[in-house]
Amino acid sequence: MKSAPDRQQGVVYTASRLVAEAGATFSPGAVAVADGSVLLAGTAADVLRAAPAGFHRMEFPGAAIVPGLVNAHVHLQIPRFTDDAGMALPIPNSFVDWILRVIAWRLGAPPASLAGNFRSAAAEALSFGTTTVGEIAGPDLSPYDGCPLRARVFAEGIGFAPHVASEVLALVGAAIDRLEKISAGNPLVQAGVSPHTLYTVGERLLRSLAELAAAKGLPACLHLAESTPETAFLSDGGGEIASRLYPAVGKDVSWFRGLGRTIPAYLAEAGLLREGVLLAHAVHLARPEIDALRAGGARFVLCPRSNAAHGNGAPDVTHFVDAKIPFALGTDSLGSVADLSPWEEMRGARSLYKGKKKDAVLCRELFRACTEHGAAALGLPGGILAPGEPADFSIVDDPGGDGDRFFRDLVEKTDRANVRLTVVAGRTAHAAA
Ligand SMILES: [Zn+2]
């Protein structure tokens, strides 16, 4: 057991097990929390012995304290899309039709609905034991003032033609300024920069956004290699994005003839292949491309359920796991998936793995993807429970078992109904009814 300096007051949470990180569990286990941070983490006996006098004690028999889950790719202001009768709309067969639906929503959504969407999605995320998100900023920045999750909020820029680059850059810069003010009042929120995709952000804007992120020392997140229309457009300027998406929004991209370089080379030239760059989806990439992007410092967030829902294929989970390329998992928005369950996302990734690793070992790695690697991908603290780390954790039903088998059962059996408590920065953010 390791310990940080004593604090005056706090709480000791004890449970049948503590998962301090994917590599370390203690049974029975405990964490002592003060001032929003972990003060002690280890066996219940050690923590209780070392905890300062006067700490409150909360006991959770039959439960495991686990690091808060990290849902590294969400859009919490995008709602479930329903018809007038409130029935879920089926996801269109064509990914371009899907993008057009999101554009229509964004143009037509009542401004007041966005904060409500955000609050209900944030509450849903917490109910699954999620404490941390990688959020693509919605149109309304005001709800991030009260964001109850630890969040990297990426201000998004979209603009393909060179002449719009300076205007979009100014908008993103203003959004970053606003997010930095929000962060001064709500330290759970940290800003980031998101060039939307390579088919919606032209080279001039891409370079400008990369420079902005570098100048401010902020991470950047980019949707990459999500669909076959994207790949077609980037290779020669053709396909559905040229023939249907851009005409539908009244923009001429006939001048674009493709990137003319590999994706890793293009990102490197634009200044977006470095530590602190997060690539979302990464479905349509060959293994050497994934390896080159990783060698350049990029990290990845995979969203297997969203990709399946859109018929976009599947990320190469086997390669990421077997080549030991760290990756995070994300649900994407409620417009694409039925719920914001990282547990379901882990199960989705589990079903895609075709390598030789034992299932139980794989499940431990997927849990690491949703905790430690998720936090690292977002450049945020947490993902493990150790002295000095934020007190971001969840308390879930302990499925039993030891070693890797525990992680297999945890991943297999856990969902919202098993989450008893979610704590962010030492404060209860969700408690089961
Ligand atoms: Zn997305």
CA 282 to ligand 1 centroid distance, Å: 11
Residue 8 has pLDDT above 80, yes or no: no
What pLDDT shows up at residue 1? 53
What pLDDT shows up at residue 345? 98
The terminus-to-terminus CA distance of the chain in angstroms comes to 33
pLDDT band at 84 (very low <50, low <70, confident <90, very high): confident
Residue 382 has pLDDT above 50, yes or no: yes
The region of weakest confidence among 15-19, 68-72, 95-99 is 95-99
Residue 252 has pLDDT above 90, yes or no: yes
User: Cβ contacts of residue 257 below 8 Å, gap of 6+?
Assistant: 236, 237
What pLDDT shows up at residue 129? 98
What pLDDT shows up at residue 83? 86
CA 73 to ligand 1 centroid distance, Å: 6
Mean of pLDDT values over 48-67:
96
If one counts every other C-beta atom within 10 angstroms of the C-beta of residue 106, the result is 13
The two tokens of residue 245 are: 């998406």
The two tokens of residue 224 are: 């990459």
The region of weakest confidence among 100-109, 170-179, 317-326, 390-399 is 100-109
pLDDT band at 5 (very low <50, low <70, confident <90, very high): very low
Residue 88 has pLDDT above 90, yes or no: no
CA 283 to ligand 1 centroid distance, Å: 13
Q: In angstroms, what CA-CA distances link 287 with 21, 50, 248, 292, 321?
A: 29, 49, 34, 9, 12
CA 329 to ligand 1 centroid distance, Å: 12
CA 138 to ligand 1 centroid distance, Å: 11
CB of 388 within 8 A of CB of 395?
no
The region of weakest confidence among 75-84, 128-137, 163-172, 223-232 is 75-84
CA 193 to ligand 1 centroid distance, Å: 13
**Backbone phi, psi, residue 29, to 5°:** -130, 170
Residue 7 has pLDDT above 60, yes or no: no
User: Cβ contacts of residue 27 below 8 Å, gap of 6+?
Assistant: 16, 17, 18, 43
pLDDT band at 6 (very low <50, low <70, confident <90, very high): very low
CB of 81 within 8 A of CB of 309?
no
Instruction: Domains for the chain: give ranges and CATH numbers.
Output: 2-68+385-431 (2.30.40.10), 69-378 (3.20.20.140)
Each residue's pLDDT tens digit, 10-22: 999 999 999 999 9
Q: Any idea what DSSP says for residue 82?
A: B
CA 40 to ligand 1 centroid distance, Å: 36
- Mean confidence (pLDDT) of the chain: 96
- Closest by alpha carbon to 359, among 415, 304, 405, 413? 405
The two tokens of residue 269 are: 């030239």
Each residue's pLDDT tens digit, 163-213: 999 999 999 999 999 999 999 999 999 999 999 999 999 999 999 999 999
Q: What is the largest CA-CA distance in the chain?
A: 71
Helix or strand (DSSP H, E) at 72: strand 69-74
CA 196 to ligand 1 centroid distance, Å: 8
